[in-house]
Amino acid sequence: MNDERISLALGEEGPDDARWAFGTGFEDPLHGVATAVPAGVDSARLAACCAALADDALVTAQRLAEWCTDAPELEEELALANIGLDLLGQARLLYSRAGQVDGTGRDEDAFAYFRGAADFRNVRLAELPRGDFAFDMVRLLVLSAWRLALFERLACAADPVLAAVAAKGVKELAYHRQFAAEWVVRLGDGTEESRERTARALVEVLPWTAELAHDGASAPFGADGGEVWEALSDVLRRTADAAGLSLPAPAKAPAGTGRSGEHTEHLAPLVGELQSVAREHPEARW
């Protein structure tokens, strides 16, 4: 094949395009799914649930993006970006749904870029600053195991859009949890240094899980808080066993919850960075 023909072949739009980046296409991400809110579903609660789950995903993706070019190995660079992209895709679908059902008609960017930090409803574990690789793997294990347990149940939610997003997300989150669990095991078992770092990460992360245990945002849509908590605890126990680590008794949970808008001091700078360009050019098109 000569250069010109190779160039032409490269320029062709093909079915391949879809695989480059989840959610980067030009189509409506909710295409083909019935969007009417079924009778008996409380729109306000549905919007709140979707926005809260979207905030968890966006804030986590933002922290994962901070690892870009800093990962310990190229394979991890790819994996962390993959996970960040999956979560970003989930956030976009969920924000769109929230804006559709809360009566405001806001789009995904209105939620992400034009709310203040105090309006975010993510759990606070997601917003804590990036730590070392052990901290971020333990955090990812907790957040992905928890979200997977939620999404497995939300896949049967009465709202068809939330159910579809959850069903798609289950496959993604199963990989995220697997990736994080494998690293926690490697680091727990690896060297003295990695073991110490991982043990310390558990001490730092576990107090923030109390907030997950008390989250009721998804309960009206089939994700029973008690069951979800049990599933998460089971994953943590089994992973710690495999890593040869013992789970520390969680210290007292910090007061307040992200779901009620009480955040740590770390959220505002994260949101400020996220929104900086969009807010500097509010009339711009991107």
Chain positions contacting other proteins, by CB under 8 A: 1, 3, 6-7, 10-11, 16-17, 20-24, 58, 61-62, 65-66, 68-78, 81-82, 84-85, 88-89, 91-92, 95, 108-109, 112-113, 133, 185-187, 189-191, 193-194, 197, 273-274, 276-278, 281, 283-286
Rounded least distance, CB 132 to other proteins, Å: 8
Shortest distance in whole angstroms from residue 217 CB to other proteins? 21
Nearest Cα neighbor of 136 from 192, 68, 74, 189 is 68
CB 83 within 8 A of CB 120: no
CB 38 to other proteins: min, Å? 27
| Chain centroid offset of residue 207 CA | 19
Residue closer to other proteins, measured from CB, 17 or 262: 17
What CA–CA distance (Å, rounded) separates 120 from 140? Answer: 20
Residue 188 or 222 having the CB closest to other proteins: 188
Q: Is 78 exposed, middle or buried (CB count within 10 Å of its CB: 0-12, 13-18, 19+)? A: exposed
Residue placing its CB nearer to other proteins in the complex, 53 or 228: 53
SS (H, E, C) 177-209: HHHHHHHHHHHHHCCHHHHHHHHHHHHHHHHHH
The token pair at 250 is 């969680």
Q: How far is the CB of 280 from other proteins (least distance, A)?
A: 9
Cβ proximity to other proteins, 50 vs 274, nearer residue:
274
Considering only CA atoms, which of 106, 238, 108, 251 is closest in space to residue 184? 238
Spatial contact of 83 and 147, defined as CB atoms under 8 Å apart:
no
Counting Cβ atoms within 10 Å, is residue 84 exposed (0-12), middle (13-18) or buried (19+)? buried
Nearer to other proteins, 10 or 255 (CB): 10
Nearer to other proteins, 45 or 130 (CB): 130
Considering the complex, what minimum distance in angstroms separates the CB of residue 203 from other proteins? 18
What is the smallest separation between the CB atom of 99 and other proteins, expressed in angstroms?
Answer: 12
